[in-house]
Amino acid sequence: MPLNTITVEQLSKNYQVPEREAGFSAAVRSFFKRKYKDVKAVQHVNFTIAQGEIVGFLGPNGAGKTTTLKMLSGLLHPSGGKASVLGFIPWELNPNYLRSMTLVMGQRNRLSWDIPAADSFLLNQAIYRIPDDEYKQTYKELDELLELEPLIKKPVRNLSLGERMKCEIAAGLLHRPKVLFLDEPTIGLDITGQVRIREFLREYNKRTGATILLTSHYMADVTALCERIIIIHQGRLKYDGGINDLSRKIAPFKLIGVMLADADSHDLSGYGTQVQNEEDADKKYIQVKAEDVTRITSRLLADLPIHDITITDPPIEDIIEQAFNQ
């Protein structure tokens, strides 16, 4: 059994957020008596992550994902509970811990905007006290995976979003961290850029055995990289387990798609619930219970002039949305 790299026990974070009504009078009153609202960003969350795992950390906006990552990386002190990463308490900011992990946020810059990425890389080398030989070897490996060489001599402001994210990720990995906290690393990228980042993370995990906790609103990131997901909603843990197990638990049904010789002349409502699939408009789809798939498929093949038939799980986005709302 791999050792647990991350252990979280009853972790909580509360904020007091100032609020007031609109208008000049309300603004003046707030100078003398400010009203606050208590926000429970994270509430008594528990989970463990083993060495070398890639785990998806999912939830809607405001669920508490980024707050949790900030606590685990030491940027925030919790209101309650405990956490251990690589044997360290994150918010104690032990230098040995800071040299062993990285936090990459897709909506935040770690690179200096007006200078080439190469200069920011050298700054990170100095901050982390990386020996020259080790720095050159690590950069060579990252360049092999991310094709950095054509990019690092340009000012960061002149890079495309996809190019900048490559450099942002590389900057966070120059010190060879054992734990990666990634908050929306593919946000805003086109399909090609997303695929390249996923391939890189998969290969980096394979080569180094690094533990990765990943948040993303792109379900393709999660399905491509993670066998296990943790779902958080309104600060509370909703699910922790495998994606396939979630499908069986939350949505125990399948989608049957059929391509017919004359689709317009056949009504499938008698076989199951008809659903739309915009990505495959050539087929008609019905939703049926998992235990009825064999029986319904046999009926369809016997009754209709079918050219092609497929049986698939429902989209992971639909399953996770149902998990949020449970």
Identify the band that residue 1 occupies on the pLDDT scale cut at 50, 70 and 90: very low
151 and 213 housed in the same domain? yes
| Shared domain check, 97 and 78 | yes
Token look-up 């980096």 returns: 204
Residues 195, 267 share a domain: no
Shared-domain flag, residues 263 and 213: no
Q: Residue 49 pLDDT more than 90?
A: yes
Tell me, what's the pLDDT at 37?
A: 83
Return the pLDDT at 223.
Answer: 84
pTM here is 0.79
CATH of residue 310: 3.30.70
Percent of the chain at pLDDT exceeding 70 = 95
pLDDT at site 20 = 75
CATH value at residue 53: 3.40.50.300
* Whether residue 241 is found in the same domain as residue 266: no
Q: Which of 194, 216, 246 is the last residue of a domain?
A: 246
Which contacts of 267-276 are long-range, i.e. CB under 8 A and separated by 24 or more positions? 268/300, 271/296, 271/299, 271/300, 272/296
Identify the residue with better confidence: 174 or 269.
174
Question: Long-range contacts made by residues 71-77, C-beta under 8 angstroms, separation at least 24?
Answer: 71/11, 71/13, 71/42, 72/6, 72/8, 72/181, 72/213, 73/101, 73/103, 73/181, 74/98, 75/103, 76/13
**3-state SS, residue 183:** strand
Give pLDDT, residue 324. Answer: 67
Q: Write down the residue that tokens 């009203």 correspond to.
A: 35
Residue 3 has pLDDT above 70, yes or no: no
The last residue of one of the domains, among 198, 225, 246, is 246
The DSSP secondary-structure symbol of 177 reads: -
Same domain, 176 and 306: no
Instruction: Read off the pLDDT of each residue in 178-192 and give the average, rounded to a whole number.
Output: 87
pLDDT value at residue 325: 67
Domain boundary among 246, 277, 297: 246
Question: What is the residue range of 280's domain?
Answer: 252-325
**pLDDT at res. 92:** 95
Place of tokens 């038939």: 309
Closest to 294 in 3D by CA, of 240, 256, 257: 256
pLDDT of residue 22: 80
Same domain, 285 and 170: no
CA trace torsion 86, 60, 230, 185 (10° rounding): -50
Mean pLDDT estimate for the chain? 87
Tens of pLDDT along 256-302? 888 887 766 778 888 888 887 766 777 888 888 888 889 999 999 88
Q: Are residues 162 and 230 in the same domain?
A: yes
Q: Per-residue pLDDT tens for 239-257?
A: 899 887 877 776 678 888 8
**Secondary structure, 3-state, 256-291:** EEEEECCHHHCCCCCCCEEECCHHHCCCEEEEEEHH
Looking at the fold, whether 107 and 23 belong to one and the same domain comes out as: yes
Q: For residue range 91-150, what is the model confidence (pLDDT) as tens digits?
A: 999 999 999 999 998 777 788 888 999 999 999 999 999 999 999 999 998 998 888 998
In tens, the pLDDT along 189-232 reads: 788 888 888 998 999 999 899 999 999 888 888 888 998 999 99
SS3 content of the chain, % helix, strand, coil (to 5): 40, 30, 30
Give 184's contacts (C-beta < 8 A, 6+ positions apart): 105, 106, 107, 215, 216, 217
Say whether both 120 and 222 belong to one domain.
yes
Number of domains in the chain: 2
Residue that wins the pLDDT comparison between 236 and 37: 236
Among 177, 52, 50, 167, residue whose Cα is nearest residue 102? 177
| Residue indicated by tokens 């992550």 | 49
